[in-house]
Amino acid sequence: MPDPEDKITIQSITSPHHIERVNRAKHMAMREALLTIMPAEPPGITPADALNALLPHLDSHEFPDGAKAGWWLKAVQLDLEAKGVIRRGPGSPVRLCGASKSKPSKST
């Protein structure tokens, strides 16, 4: 059983200098479920549709009956946007999709 005190540091695209420490198991479970249903290309999926689509993919131990899934979806969404794993499509409403693979990689 995972240690409930095991934390991961997350970011937010809306507050770039703010970091938060959250439960690693819950974050990773939501991240896996979100990336499972995330379309690769625009127009993407709305957060509300993403929540409905990912509920069947959530770990029932971490999210019994989908408890707190909405909060965790938003936290993971903002973290993955900040890290460039997912992106927002243009316009309104907010639609999410995978990050573009065409960005040049940084050479070291």
For the stretch 60-98, pLDDT in tens is 999 999 999 999 999 999 999 999 999 998 889 999 999
What is the pTM (predicted TM-score) of this model? Answer: 0.86
44 closest CA partner among 107, 100, 3, 102: 100
| Residue 105 pLDDT exceeds 50 | no
pLDDT band of 102, cuts 50, 70, 90: very low
Backbone phi, then psi, for 21, in 5-degree steps?
-105, 125
